[in-house]
Amino acid sequence: MRTSDKNALITGASRGIGRQLAVSLAELGYNPILVGRNSDDLRLVADDIHSSTGRQTSIYVVDITDESKIRRMVNDLEEKLLNIHILVNNAGIHRKGTLELQENEFQELLEVNLKAHFLMTRAIVPLMLRNGNGYIFNIASRSAKVGFADTGGYCASKWGLLGLSESLYHKLTPQGIKVTALCPAWVDTDMARRADSPLHPDEMIEPADLSKTIEWLLSLSSGACVKEIVITNPKSL
């Protein structure tokens, strides 16, 4: 599937899964709108996209846990007449711990991994409804399906995102907006290494596996709706 005049907004686009998805969507012909907190990292991604595909990107340095900053971004998108056809809710953080987590650490997990995606989706859906179509991809985690003893806070935030995603699936699909949650196990990213993944990189899911999954989902007919996809590692079955 290729397109030339559609826009894809990706949060957490400066590295890891978000970077991979931004590049792959540009290769499919979408105009990437890169959202993150580090302008230098986002610019590097934009340069890579331009050199590999020739496509221009838009960059927004936004704290997506702040609704007023999201609103300013959306107002700017509307002024530029940029409709959003794909929203990838990807930004996220990982913290080890369950009851030993400090309250502020638990709150940060909920703010970044759940609240931010709620706020972003609430701001973008009206643009999609105006188009009469759209696709929302929520990058959850296998931790949204399985509660692990040492990452209770992270699991709670991802279970919340999966619940929100399923509710959006039932609410928005009849209105022409597809919603799919992707729930991968360990993905070979910097975040996985910082989280002390027990797997060797060769045993992990590659970021490109998620972009290939999204490409497949986008190729399905309008009548085919996929609520969630779980991707595991051989040692995580």
Active site residues: 154
- The residue type of 82 is L
* Cα gap 237→228, rounded to integer Å: 17
Which residues are paired to 86 by β-bridges?
8, 135
Two tokens, residue 143: 């931790």
Is the separation of the CB atoms in 179 and 169 below 8 Å? yes
* Cα gap 6→30, rounded to integer Å: 5
* Cα gap 24→32, rounded to integer Å: 10
Alpha helices in the chain (DSSP H): 16-27, 39-53, 67-79, 103-110, 116-131, 152-172, 190-194, 207-219
Which residues are paired to 8 by β-bridges?
32, 86
* Cα gap 18→10, rounded to integer Å: 7
- The residue type of 140 is A
Q: Phi, psi at residue 142, to the nearest 5°?
A: -60, -20
